[in-house]
């Protein structure tokens, strides 16, 4: 039951975030924003969809159960959520799921950005590891954590180059 509640919550959360991201994307583009790495974005979307498919498949096919350390993973997940929403709130209407740079905007250096360069990515890295671990889905945790790191390495390099325009 806890599996359905937590994973259902995360899926609904992601769908709501996509609506917010789309609204912010339209605002940014209307303000003259330039999108970087359109093709790379589809890879990230596919990876996240496949993550949930893999999580469901591994959990049900192998009849996994709640990990005996699930409470630790849940606490880490909640902490990641706090960091994630702190980052989203700090970026305001500049936040979205794509790399869009609005000319004339200032680099955000408040909130978690005062301490970390990419706090939202830190939250996603944590989520992709601890959600499957909470339910003993070790293959999903390993495969998608590694895949996510490869995708984020590329994305962060592109984002860093794009952000240089604001400096």
Secondary structure, 3-state, 72-141: HHHHHHHHHHHHHHHHHHHHHHHCCCCEEECCCCCCCCCHHHHCCCCHHHHHHHHHHHHHHHHCCCHHHH
Region 2-166: CATH code: 1.20.120.1630
Cβ atoms of residues 133 and 145 within 8 Å: no
In the chain, where are the structural domains located?
A: 2-166
Query: Can you count the helices (H) and strands (E) in the chain?
Result: 5, 2
Cβ atoms of residues 50 and 57 within 8 Å: no
Residue 146 has pLDDT above 90, yes or no: yes
Quote the crossing angle between the two packed helices 38-61 and 138-163, to the nearest 10°: 170
Of the candidates 146, 8, 152, 133, the one whose C-alpha atom is nearest the C-alpha of residue 76 is 133
The model's pTM is 0.93
Tens of pLDDT along 27-84?
999 999 999 998 899 999 999 999 999 999 999 999 999 999 999 999 999 999 999 9
Per this entry, what is the length of the chain? 167
Residue 167 has pLDDT above 70, yes or no: no
Q: Which burial class, exposed, middle or buried, applies to 104 when counting CB atoms under 10 A from its CB (0-12, 13-18, 19+)?
A: exposed
The C-alpha angle 95, 100, 105, rounded to 5 degrees, equals 75
Task: Report how far residue 167's alpha carbon sits from residue 42's, in angstroms, rounded to the nearest whole number.
Answer: 28
Mean pLDDT value across the chain: 96
């Amino acid at each position: 039951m806890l599996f359905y509640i937590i994973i259902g919550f995360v899926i609904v959360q992601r769908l709501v975030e996509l609506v917010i991201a789309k609204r912010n994307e339209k605002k940014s583009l209307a303000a003259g924003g330039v999108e970087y790495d359109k093709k790379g974005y589809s890879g990230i979307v596919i990876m996240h969809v496949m993550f949930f498919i893999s999580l469901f498949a591994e959990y049900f096919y192998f009849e996994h159960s709640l990990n005996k350390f699930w409470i630790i993973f849940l606490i880490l997940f909640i902490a990641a959520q706090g960091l994630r929403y702190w980052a989203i709130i700090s970026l305001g209407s500049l936040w979205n799921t794509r790399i869009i740079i609005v000319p004339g905007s200032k680099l955000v250096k408040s909130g978690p950005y005062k301490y970390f360069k990419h706090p939202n990515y830190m939250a996603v890295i944590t989520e992709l590891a601890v959600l499957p671990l909470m339910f003993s889905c070790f293959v999903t945790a390993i495969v998608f954590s590694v895949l996510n790191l490869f995708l984020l390495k590329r994305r962060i390099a592109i984002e860093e180059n794009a952000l240089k325009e604001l400096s």
